[in-house]
Amino acid sequence: MEFQYQYLLDLVSKGKRPDGRKPDEYRDINIETGVIFKAEGSAKVSIGETQVLAGVKLGIGQPYPDKPDEGVLITGAEFSPVASPEFEAGPPDEDAIELARVVDRGIRESEAIDMKKLFIDEENV
């Protein structure tokens, strides 16, 4: 709301925020793991009123031809219409796709997962 912009500027110049927090203060953070019974790994994270549910599923497949000795990581994100009046049902829009790709790169580049460890020898499949 445009005229509220002025109100916010005034508040911020006084070091205040509409919900009373200080400029460098976070909203309440909550983290729970193992919340989804059928997922091999899962977590529920909330920051203030934003809630995110994440799940990990494992499966067996073929390595990519250019990385024949590594496992495969696929990241997807959905902005469920449950979560906000602004989200519409349907395939992921550009925001959801961007989020998924940024998170994917974050996990991949950090090398937090050793992709080689995800490789199963042909005999052992």
Partner 1 sequence: MKRIDGRKPDELRPLVIKAGVINQADGSAMVKLGNTTAVAAVYGPRLLHPKHLQEPDRAYLRTVYSMVPFSTYERVKPGPSRRSIEICKVTRHALEPAIFLEEFPKTVIDVFIDIIEADAGTRTAGINAASVALADAGIPMKGLVSAVAVGKINDTYILDLNGKEEEETFCDMPVAYINRTKEVSLLQMDGKIDKKDIKELLKLALKGCEIIYEEQKKALKNRWIGD
Partner 2 sequence: MMVVMSELKKKNREFVIPGDEIIRSMDYIPGKNCFREGESIYAKRLGLVEITGRVVSVIPLSGVYIPRVGDMVIGRIEELQVNGWLVDINSPCIAYLPFSGVREYIDPVKVDPLKIYNVGDMIYAKVASMVGKVSVTLSMLDPRARKFKTGRILKISPVKIPRLIGKRGSMINLLKEKARCKISVGQNGLVWAEGEKIDVIVKVIKLIEKESHVEGLTDMIAELLEKEGS
Chain contacts with partner 1 (rule: CB under 8 A): 36-39, 42, 49, 53, 55-57, 59, 76, 78, 80-85, 89, 91-92
Partner whose binding site includes residue 25, from partner 2, partner 1, none (CB under 5 to 8 Å by kind): none
Pick from 13, 15, 20, 86: which binds partner 2 (CB under 8 A)? 20
Three-state SS string over 1-66 comes to CHHHHHHHHHHHHCCCCCCCCCCCCCCCEEEEECCCCCCCEEEEEEECCEEEEEEECCCCCCCCCC
Phi-psi region at 15: left, alpha or beta (left = phi > 0; alpha = psi -120 to 50): left
Nearer to partner 2, 31 or 82 (CB): 82
Cβ nearer to partner 2, comparing 1 with 58: 1
Is residue 49 a contact point for partner 2 (CB under 8 A)? no
